[in-house]
A and B are shown apart, each in its own frame.
Chain A
Amino acid sequence: MTLLERDPQAPAAWRGNLPVTSRYTYGIAGEKFFRALKDEGKIMGAECPTCGITYVPARAFCERCLSELTEWTDVGLVGELHTFTLVFVDYDGRPLYEPELVGFVSFGDGGIVHKLEADPDTLEIGMKMEAVLKPKTKRTGSILDIQHFKPVK
């Protein structure tokens, strides 16, 4: 007994594409945070009076005591470099010609992960890093309204 043979005209593969699109809205606190970034160029934090924690980015509720966070403050554009890494592959796993610097810049008790614009050899944990914003007219209300962080001279 032999198996049926392949039709020589048969397509080897069925090709397709799944149309997957998404629209993410930031929620009540996120909306307020990104509005402040877009319209005023400010990075906002929220302080919990009970726990003494400053959340950055600002959020609506304290995750420890669950109290509502109404005291929002401008934490400025300068934070401290908490950690950083050099990235050698892109999102699809392809090698990058120029490695990209990515770091976590801490503000208050939180912080922001973003691209860094600096010579990696000069970076030190704990150094001051400043957010470089896009010009106001180009801001869209996204984390990419911050272009990158650079060392404070």
Chain B
Amino acid sequence: MAESALLELKDVSKAFGGLRCIDKLDLDVAEGEIVSVIGPNGAGKTTLFNLVTGIYRPDEGDILFEGRSIVGLAPHAITNRGIARTFQTLRLFLNMTVKENVMAATYGRTRASIVESMLRLPRSRREEKESSRFAEERLGFFGQRLMGYRWNQPAYSLSYANRRRLEIARATATRPRLLLLDEPAAGMNPVETLEITELIGKLREEGGYTILVIEHDMHVVEGISDRVVALDHGVKIAEGTFEEVATDARVVEAYLGTSAMERS
């Protein structure tokens, strides 16, 4: 990498019992890049995210963020360093309101202690106001979709697409530098998929985030990626521009099997 990498995985391995989910993986993401991770089901894409966010601890190897190792840190500490993620299976705080969902994620960026909150001391009041304004701004990123009357609705009343949007808003409320998006277009209709493609570009331009995204929809991958990384059985099988990866023999084999190769 010419620039210094924001996120760097060195020789990372993770096994569950005898199953090697990630096998000696090297990966780096430069500041300001949008990198897509593709691969068939079970290739280890989500495991990769879980390793980076500290939910799993790698068996071997090192993960560097901004040049410092984050292995062994608790997930909330890693988030405070500047990595935020969304989940493939949506994990919103369903019984809280839309705005509260986003405000909750500012926890790591606020400092008022429980005593200050209980007594409504100045710092607590100031941070409340800031969090509220910040949450509104984050929700405003999605146009009118999550605005107005929606703020005070419970998250469970949102549509699937809006839940995905809310998850992105919540992740950005932790003020990250690196955003990990786990299948942001899953379960969306064609119009919404198109919209999410634009959105990911907009996220980088306006928010300045570096983005690592897992995606199955190849139109989305084609539309957003600076670079594509293909995984299969925990091993990186291809890396490069979309065209390079899409035409790579091993990628086609991983998706379609060997006989497809022979036929073509």
Q: Do A and B come from one complex?
A: no
